[in-house]
Amino acid sequence: MNEADSENIAAAFRRRGYELTDEIKKADAVVVNTCTVRQRAEDKAISQIGRLRVWKEKRPEGKLFVVGCAAQKLGGKAIKNRFPFVDEVVGAKAIEAFEDSLINQLGPSPETETAHQNLFRSPQTAYVTIMRGCSLKCSYCIVPAVRGPAVFLSADAILKDAAAKIKAGAKEIVLLGQTVNAWRQDKTTFSELLEKALALPGLQRLRFMSPHPVYFEDDFTALLAREKKLARYMHLPVQSGSDRILKLMRRGYTRAQYLALLARLRAGAPDLAVSTDFIVGYPGETEEDFQDTLKLVEEGRFTMAYCFKYSPRSDRPEMAATLGEPEIEARLGKLLAAVKTNSRVILNERIGKIEEVLFETETYGRASGNFAVRVKAGGTPGKMAGVLVEKADKNTLNGKLL
Ligand code: SF4
């Protein structure tokens, strides 16, 4: 979500004739897009803003913007009190009105449209935000507080955005939202929106990120089974394998319900690759709870998992970690090892199979299941081709172009 916001912000600058630079010395304006999903992210944002004092002293006419989730949480007043050299603060809830802040600081834009430009991915993949915020209340999560409740963009606006990005060269669209499959508009379901997006001329592959287990409806399973352009990949955060911890986290499902959902999805799409998120060391997590999480790695057949140590927040003393750092570290190490072993098994199962690969270079592309795929030569950037998998390395499938 932050990457997509950063791209929109960059586009607003480009409409005014600005270009991106990696060299801070050359910058006429700097935007710090902050994250607060973990305390560490917030701390890093604060130090980054602090370091920009030197730039601002050398370039007093330069404009410094602080935007995003940490900006929302800390508030404009507090940030400007601590860092008086900041020109403008725009919290996550107002990020769509960033243009107004630019007008305040730099005046109106002479142009109305600008070509889409990816900052973080290959040019053939484009992000399309379909919703903002989240209406769930997971106990550990700050997102609903900083981004607000779920707000859905209209189907028309979403399809227009996707069509414009395809016209500008994107072959693959990633629909984005904090709980992306919660999207609906009147009687239009998330699956119906996907169907409309899949029909856009020129689209080769459709992905979405990140769905929440509680929001899948039955029509999605059927759609996934029949629509091959819908990626055979899903990042479906589970967070814990223990029912007790899932309940404390207020995730809204049990371990059995999560596994039943995976089974339903894989019944129609047996090659579906699933990655997930885990939090280790949640307050009150016992050894038994942790063992349930470890077992889930294999049962869920995850191709990959982002494993995080529970991040206590200084402003929530009631949610302090109950385990010591060495124990949390030890559990994290065991979990990472289990994930690695399991991923290797799943990658090896792909040997001898044919993957539909969307090439980014002549030798590199991504399979529908989101695996990185390498061939010796012959791929055409922006084109899909079959690859016979011959070997699996750490995170990559190697094969022969068909
Ligand atoms: S669903 Fe995701 S964004 Fe929403 S509260 Fe839970 S963890 Fe946070």
The number of the ligand 1 atom at minimal distance from the alpha carbon of 239 is 7
Ligand 1 mean position, distance from CA 335 (Å)? 22
The number of the ligand 1 atom at minimal distance from the alpha carbon of 147 is 3
The answer, yes or no, to whether residue 116 has pLDDT greater than 70, is: no
- pTM, two decimals, is 0.90
Ligand 1 mean position, distance from CA 196 (Å)? 26
Contact at 8 Å (CB) between 395 and 329? no
The answer, yes or no, to whether residue 399 has pLDDT greater than 80, is: yes
Superfamily name and number for 2-106? Methylthiotransferase, N-terminal domain (3.40.50.12160)
- Residues 135-190 have pLDDT tens digits of 999 999 988 988 899 999 999 999 999 999 999 899 999 999 999 999 999 989 99
Ligand 1 mean position, distance from CA 303 (Å)? 22
- Residues 336-357 have pLDDT tens digits of 999 999 999 999 999 999 999 9
The answer, yes or no, to whether residue 18 has pLDDT greater than 80, is: yes
CA 303/CA 369 separation, integer angstroms: 9
The number of the ligand 1 atom at minimal distance from the alpha carbon of 142 is 8
Ligand 1 mean position, distance from CA 137 (Å)? 6
Confidence of residue 112 (pLDDT cuts 50, 70, 90): low
Mean pLDDT of the chain: 93
How far CA 81 is from CA of 91, 95, 244, 369, in Å, comes to 16, 21, 43, 48
Least confident interval from 112-116, 301-305, 314-318: 112-116
Mutational test site, ligand 1, from 2, 140, 143, 183, max ligand atoms within 8 Å of CB? 143
Contact at 8 Å (CB) between 176 and 287? no
Q: Where are the domains of the chain?
A: 2-106, 125-349, 354-401
Mean pLDDT to the nearest integer, 233-250: 97
Mean pLDDT to the nearest integer, 360-387: 96
The number of the ligand 1 atom at minimal distance from the alpha carbon of 179 is 1
Closest C-alpha among 100, 132, 104 to residue 5:
132
Ligand 1: residues with CB < 6 A are 134, 136-138, 141, 143-144, 178-179, 212
The number of the ligand 1 atom at minimal distance from the alpha carbon of 178 is 3
The yes-or-no answer to whether 2-106 and 125-349 have a common fold is: no
| Residue 110, pLDDT score | 65
Least confident interval from 15-24, 44-53, 220-229: 15-24
| Residue 115, pLDDT score | 55
Ligand 1 mean position, distance from CA 191 (Å)? 21
**Residue with the larger pLDDT of the pair 384 and 94:** 384
The answer, yes or no, to whether residue 119 has pLDDT greater than 80, is: no
The answer, yes or no, to whether residue 109 has pLDDT greater than 80, is: no
Produce one character per residue of 389-401: b if its CB has 16 or more CB atoms within 10 Å, e if not. beebeeeebbbeb
Mutational test site, ligand 1, from 2, 139, 178, 278, max ligand atoms within 8 Å of CB? 178
Least confident interval from 96-105, 193-202, 284-293: 96-105
| Residue 176, pLDDT score | 96
| Residue 12, pLDDT score | 85
CA 234/CA 211 separation, integer angstroms: 8
How far CA 386 is from CA of 370, 389, 401, in Å, comes to 14, 9, 6
- Residues 81-91 have pLDDT tens digits of 999 999 999 99
Mutational test site, ligand 1, from 73, 141, 215, 247, max ligand atoms within 8 Å of CB? 141
Question: Is residue 203 classed as helix, strand or coil in its secondary structure?
Answer: coil
Mean pLDDT to the nearest integer, 110-120: 63
Domain 125-349 falls under CATH 3.80.30.20 = yes
| Residue 275, pLDDT score | 97
CA 201/CA 105 separation, integer angstroms: 39
Confidence of residue 299 (pLDDT cuts 50, 70, 90): very high
CA atoms within 13 Å, Cβ hemisphere of 55: 20
